[in-house]
Amino acid sequence: MKILSIITQKGGAGKTTIATALAVAAEKDGLNTAILDLDDQATSCFWGDIRQGLNHAPALAVKDVKAIRLPHVLEALKSAGCDLVIL
Ligand SMILES: Nc1ncnc2c1ncn2[C@@H]1O[C@H](COP(=O)(O)OP(=O)(O)OP(=O)(O)O)[C@@H](O)[C@H]1O
Ligand SMILES: [Mg+2]
């Protein structure tokens, strides 16, 4: 399982845009992909909620997670056969 972290300070540098676009591209390439959203603003999660309601959208896991829980959640995703996690 690969882990890709997208990190800058808050303020609209494009983290959420890149994370969600890369996740969709990875899923289309056949990778079992998850987004873990560590931002309290949870914009990726809201995006995931809207996307889930679209008929054509394939399943893509988007979870909000607190940093202290990250090791446990990553282990769980690895065990579940996840190929790519985007933080
Ligand atoms: N490559 C780009 N070109 C033009 N606009 C972009 C690009 N990437 C992102 N944006 C726009 O910039 C704004 C901020 O992007 P985004 O929400 O992805 O940033 P962010 O780093 O997640 O922000 P925050 O720090 O608030 O979480 C959005 O309106 C988005 O559509
Ligand atoms: Mg963001």
Taking only the tens place, the pLDDT of each residue in 35-74 is 999 999 999 999 999 998 787 666 789 999 999 999 999 9
Strands 2-4 and 84-86: parallel
Would 72 be classed as within a structural domain? no
On whether residue 70 sits in a domain, the answer given is: no
Residue 66 pLDDT? 96
What ligand has the least distance to the C-alpha of 6?
1
pLDDT band at 2 (very low <50, low <70, confident <90, very high): very high
The pocket around ligand 1, CB under 6 angstroms, is made up of 10-17, 39, 41, 43
Mean pLDDT, rounded, for 15-44? 96
The count of structural domains within the chain is: 1
The whole-number average pLDDT for the span 6-20 is: 97
Nearest atom in ligand 1 to 18's CA: 18
Report if residue 26 sits inside a domain: no
